[in-house]
Each structure stands twice: as C-alpha cells, then as structure tokens.
Structure 1
Amino acid sequence: MKHTILVTGGAGFMGSHLVDQLISEGHHVKVVDNLSGGYLSNVNPKAEFIKGDLQSAKVCRKAVEGVDMVYHLAAHAAEGQSLFCPVYNAKSNYIGFLQLLEAAINSDVKVFVHTSSMSVYGHQKEMPMREDQPYNPKDPYAVGKAAIEQLLLIYSELFGLKYTILIPHNVYGERQNLNDPYRNVISIFINRVLQGKPPIIFGDGTQTRAFTYVRDCTPYIAKAGFTSEAFGERINIGSEEVTTINEVARIVLEETGRTDLRPVHAPPRPMEVKHAYCSSEKARRILDYKTTTPLRIGIRKMVDWVRREGPRSFKYWNRLEITKKAPEVWTKKLQ
C-alpha cells in the first residue's frame, strides 16, 4: 500500500536521504523545510516541496493536509551551540514540534516517526547507551528532545497516535551542511582540511563516538513507520564501531592526502559528553538493522563528495544569545 507521507526537514542532510528512500518505495512525499540548514538542491524532484517554518500553524496545516504518516526530522540540531542560543533553539524545536503535532492530530495523521537525539542520554555510567537507561540531558537541545518524546507518549495515550522514536547516533555523509561550524565533526574536519587548514579538536581528542554513515541509517528510519513492532518504542540507530576523535582526525588527514597537517587542540567544549555510542541490539531485533560501511570507507566517500562540491566557508551566527564561556573558535568565527 502506498502512502502520502510528510518529511519535515526534507531539504536537509538526513531528511533528503529519507525522502529519496520513501520515493524509491513508491510513496508520494511532501517536504516542508525553511531552508535554514538545508538546500533546495537536496530535494528529490518527485517530492512536493513546501517552504515554511514549523513555528507557523498555517504552514503545519498545509503540510499535513492529505497526509497519513509524518517523519519529523526538522530541527535546529545544535547540541553544544544550544547552550548559547537557548531561546532560538526552544522556539525552533519545541514550539515547532507542538505546532506540527497539533496539526497532525487535527488532520488524523495515523503514524508519527520522530527522530530524537543521542544527546538525551547525556553522561552515562555504563556504556554503550541503551534505550532503557534514564535520560540525563546536558544542554537545552537535549532537554527539548526529551520533552518531545514524553509528549508523544502522552498524546498517543490520549488520541491513539501510533509513534516511533528513533535515536540516530553521529550520522555523517553526503549532503551534510558544510557551512555549519557548530556540529558534525567529520564534516567540519573535511571542510577545513580541503582548504589546507588543520582540524581543530576540542579537548584532548580522547572522546569516543561511533559514527554512522547516512545510507546505513535512513533506510531503517523509513522502515520504522511500517513496522508495527516499532510503534511505541524508542530505538537507537547507530554503528557500533567505536573510535576516538583523534582517530577520526587521523583518518580524515589520510583520506584527503594531507598528512602534513597536524590537528590543533582547543579547550574542551562546555558540557560536552565524553563518551557517546550506543547498542543497536534493539534495532537489529525490531528493524533487522545492520551497518555495511566502515568508518574509513564512509569518510572516503564523503571526502570525494566534498571535493566535487567544493569546501565552503563557515556561516557563524552574528551574535549568540549568550557569549559567556562560548568556545573561542565560535566567538572569533574561525574559518
């Protein structure tokens, strides 16, 4: 059975890959995006595109019209940056979600797939991160994501809305926003190195992560909306190939052929979680999830893509809402 599906943030990185996946499966896809972090060139030409912000009730009503499924990916996804722009982040993410949820319920949307964030876990004593661990958010973005999850549970109980919460972990790959200096470390490293500049590492670089190639992620986001066993569940989506940020920098330098450059270490980012990687056992059980792209191969593919696109200048905010204790890299707007 084919569906009419709304993808919010469908001009962005993960959203545009998800749109491609859903269209390849034969669905009619509507996209709503304000293009603050996405690009019209990312949008599949077979999709119906609406330019607009989810903070607008009118935009949300138009977006959900005739839709039976929603995949909600739109967000100002800036964990560390949200400490210094909490008001903007709350309006963009929390209020935007509420407007969308109101419209979805009033329009009788049947299924709502929400992409949350690994940041909701915060610091955990036991690793890897598992879905049954208590949340410990350390920034406004994570607090908002955790609140959205709770609201989905409440409205599901009240209205019977079928929902799934997916928690992607450190996704990278083609179409990542190269202009963004605040998030997506692999993208930032590649963008700088291809301009002949060394990667900047916050702290000593021993932070551990497991990075997930985008094409190993979005097919399972798509699948979640059609898997009854996923309804009412929170599910991690992520690679289990754990590495350090130092190792990521080394691979980027090798794959770009710039081993002559040496990483520069900056002071640690405020409130940064030292270790963040997940168990994907639940995703394997419910969604038959698997990763097929090792980190080095994924970085190689992304380097090739950035070479074709050309590196870009970072676009910094004119002024953060809070500047005290903001990383110097940001306040000095280093390129």
Structure 2
Amino acid sequence: MGYQDLEFANDSVFLITGAAGFIGSNLVEAVLDLGYEVRGIDNFSNGRKENIEEFINNENFNFIEGDIRDYKTCLKAAEGVDYILHQAALGSVPRSMREPLIYEDNNIKGTSNMMEAARQNNVKKFVYASSSSVYGDSKELPKEEGKEGQVLSPYALTKSVKEEYAKLYTKSYDLECIGLRYFNVFGRRQDPFSEYAAVIPKFIKILKDGNQVEIYGDGEQSRDFTYIENVIEANLKACLADSKAAGEAFNIAYGERFTINKVYDLMCEKLEIEREPIYAPERPGDIKHSLADISKAEELLNYDPDWDFKSGFAEAIKWYKENI
C-alpha cells in the first residue's frame, strides 16, 4: 500500500514534465521526499511558479524552463534520465472543443517528442498521463480497459493517440511505455483560478468568494474522483512494473463514484456554507457517468490506493482553506 516504501537504485534520476502543474509538482515533491534526483520541465502555460518554489533550492532538484513542443529541448532534458513521468499537456474538455488545434500541437506533438527523446536516451520507463475521457460515449460501467467508445472531444482524442504512440514505441523501439488513465484527479495545488478549472477547486473558490456555483446539467452526472496521493502511487509503481505492463494503459482511480450534486453538498457542509447552486445546460463533450474498474492496475502495477474520496476530500478542503 502507498508509495513511501518504494525503492529505486540510489542514483536514479526522474524527469517530470509539467513539473509546475498540479500533478507534476506533487510528483516532484514525492520523488524528492524519497531521496532521488528530479529534473523538472515546464513552460508555465498551465503550471505555476509558486508550485515549485519550495523545491528550487533542493540540491536534488534541477528545473528547466522549456517547451516539450521543441524536440531539442526534450532531447537535452532526457539526458541521463532513468524514468520519465510525462504529465505536461493541455487539459480541459471545454477548451479543447473551442481550440482543437492547440491540443494537437501540445498533447500529441509534445508527447511524441518526449517519447523519441526517451528512446534516444535509453530511458528505462516512460510513464505518461492518459485520461478516462478515452472511454468516450461508452455507457458501460465500470469502465474497463479494452472497452472504449467513440471519443467526444479533441482532448480525449489526443489522449487516445498518445496511447497508440505508446504501443508503437513499446513494440517497435523497446521503450517501455505505461499509460495511466486518470479519473478526475483532485487535491492540493490544483488551480482554482483558471477559466477551465476542475470542478472541485472551482466550486471551492466560488463558494469562498461568496458567489453561487453553476452546475452544468442536472448535477446527477457522476465521477470517480481520485485523490492525488493515489496518482502518485500509480506513477511510481508503474516505474517498477514488470515488462509485461509495457505498452498498456491502466485505469487510475479509487473505484467509487459520486454525483456532482453530492460533491457540492459535501463541500458546503465542510465549508459550513448554505447556498443553492444554479443549474445550466449540459456542456458538449462531457461524459455523463464515470466509474473505473481498477483490477488491471492492481494486477500488473501492484496499484493499491489508500485514499477514498471522502478522506481525500477532507484533506483537499483543509488545504484550500489555508491557501486560497
């Protein structure tokens, strides 16, 4: 259980892309806490400098301000690296519906650049962020790897293409790639200020500012919300996984679901606020229900998540109370 007791070779070097982002900065912190060398790269298009301020003076942390869309930058960043945790990407389904071309450039070209840089530098494992959005219009619950539907957004399409590249690089170039299909990750450092902020930090900020939350649809859409600690565990265990996991993608979640209405009610309770939400039309590209079957990750990655939604949610609320 957990990841605090995981061991790598003493001289292991990790490259974390998107290091100043929500998930990336948490991975930086976790790997540094384990005592290994971390190289981080970010262009601050999504990431925030304050997310990595506390690590800058750590002798085991080396930060590169750079863009993964530039192959030479990727090639240099991957020199001497054992493991790459590739988190850099543009998120947000709604934004991808409005600006599809920048998703192609960032998420697909950026990832293929990073994979090729990993191949050229003989990296041991390339672990990358995929998404539950690849299940598209599939109505089957729980979501199971190999039973995907048609994708519903450019964002989801870029994640699906990433997975195809990963299969190719694993089979044709012997680069061991492992995809992690994140299900609605939340926790400390998740940006509440962006126009495209995720639902939990966005709602918290709106409520704390004294405003009414807008919920799209009837609020009965459900999600398998996944606390950040579970995602850290999955990334690090993927680095140690047997070669038979290479080329595969895995659901990373807890395996339980909550409606948006339920999350909102819990949030109001934790913040001690009574305020009715406003309901708005559904958004194009959104998936109605999400619940993960995590048995494949349990079997091949030894994934064993400690944090259910309510325990993670309590920690997240505590962090946001102190930091926004």
TM-score (norm 1): 0.88
Relative distance call for 1:110 and 1:291 in structure 2 (3 A) is closer
Give 1:253's match in structure 2, choosing from 268, 274, 297. 268
| Deviation string, structure 1 residues 32-68 (Cα, Å, up to 9, x no partner) | 0111222223223332100111111232122111112
1:21 matched to which residue of 2?
A: 30
* Rounded Cα–Cα distance in structure 1 between residues aligned with 2:95 and 2:89: 13
Kept after mapping to 1: 8 A contact 2:126/2:178: yes
Q: Which amino acid aligns with 1:130?
A: E
Match for residue 149 of structure 1?
Answer: 163
What do the CA deviations read for 1:212-240 (whole angstroms, capped 9, x no partner)?
Answer: 11112212211111111532321111022
Q: Map residues 95-174 of structure 1 onto 2, 5 A cutoff.
A: 95-174=109-188
> Which amino acid is 2:190 matched to?
Q
Secondary structure of the structure 2 residue equivalent to 1:204: coil
Are the structure 2 counterparts of residues 111 and 294 from structure 1 closer, same or farther at C-alpha, using a change threshold of 3 Å? Answer: closer
Segments of 5+ residues of structure 1 without an aligned counterpart are 311-335
Distance in 2, matches of 1:253 and 1:182, equals 21
**Is the CA contact (8 Å cut-off) linking 1:94 and 1:144 kept in structure 2?**
yes
1:138 touches 1:271 (CA, 8 Å); kept in 2? yes
Q: Which amino acid aligns with 1:222?
A: L
Q: CA deviation at 1:298?
A: 2.4
The residue aligned with 2:311 is: 297
Any idea what the Cα deviations from partners look like across 1:150-197, whole Å, max 9, x if unmatched?
111112222111111111111101000121232411111101001111
2:300 is the counterpart of 1:286: yes
Sequence identity percentage: 35
- Correspondence for 2:280 among 252, 262, 266: 266
Matched with 2:6 is: none
Shift of 1:135: 4.2
Equivalent in 209, 216, 220 of residue 206 of structure 1: 220
* Aligned residue in 2 for 1:85: 99
Question: Gapped runs of 5+ residues in structure 2?
Answer: 1-8
Matches of 2:285 and 2:162, distance apart in 1:
22
RMSD over equivalenced CA pairs, Å: 1.5
Q: Deviations over 1:222-274 (max 9, x none)?
A: 11111115323211110222111111111111111112x10111111012111
SS in 1 for 2:16: strand
Task: Choose from 150, 175, 193 the match for 1:179.
Answer: 193
Of 16, 23, 41, 1:32 maps to: 41
Alpha-carbon distance in 2 for matches of 1:144, 1:253: 35
Quick one: which amino acid aligns to residue 76 of structure 2? K
Post-superposition CA distance 1:131-152 (Å, at most 9, x none): 1213421101111111111111
**Alpha carbons of 1:301 and 1:55: their partners in 2 closer, same or farther (altered >3 Å)?**
same
**Secondary structure of 1:283's aligned partner:** helix
Does the CA contact (< 8 Å) of 2:256 and 2:292 recur in 1?
A: no
User: Structure 1 residues 20-29 or 188-197, which shifts more?
Assistant: 20-29
Partner in structure 2 of residue 218 of structure 1: 232
Letter in structure 2 aligned against 1:142: A
Letter in 1 for 2:201: S
Match of 1:53 in 2: 67
Decide whether the 8 Å contact of 1:123 with 1:275 is kept in 2: no
Rounded Cα–Cα distance in structure 2 between residues aligned with 1:121 and 1:196 = 36
Structure 2 distance, partners of 1:128, 1:122, is 13
SS class of match (1:131): coil
CA contact (8 A) 1:21 1:219 kept: no
- How many residues align? The count is 309
Structure 1 residue 303, shift from structure 2 partner: 2.1
Deviation at 1:16, TM superposition (A): 1.2
- Supply the AA of the counterpart residue of 2:34: E
Distance in 2 separating the partners of 1:299 and 1:200: 20
TM-score by length of 2: 0.91
Q: Distance in 2 between matches of 1:156 and 1:48?
A: 28
Residues of 2 paired with 1:287 and 1:23: CA distance?
A: 22
Amino acid in the other structure paired with 2:30: Q
1:244 to 259, 265, 274: 259
In 2, are the aligned partners of 1:202 and 1:269 still within 8 Å (CA)? yes
Give the secondary structure class of the aligned counterpart of 2:255: coil
CA distance in 2, matches of 1:87, 1:39: 23
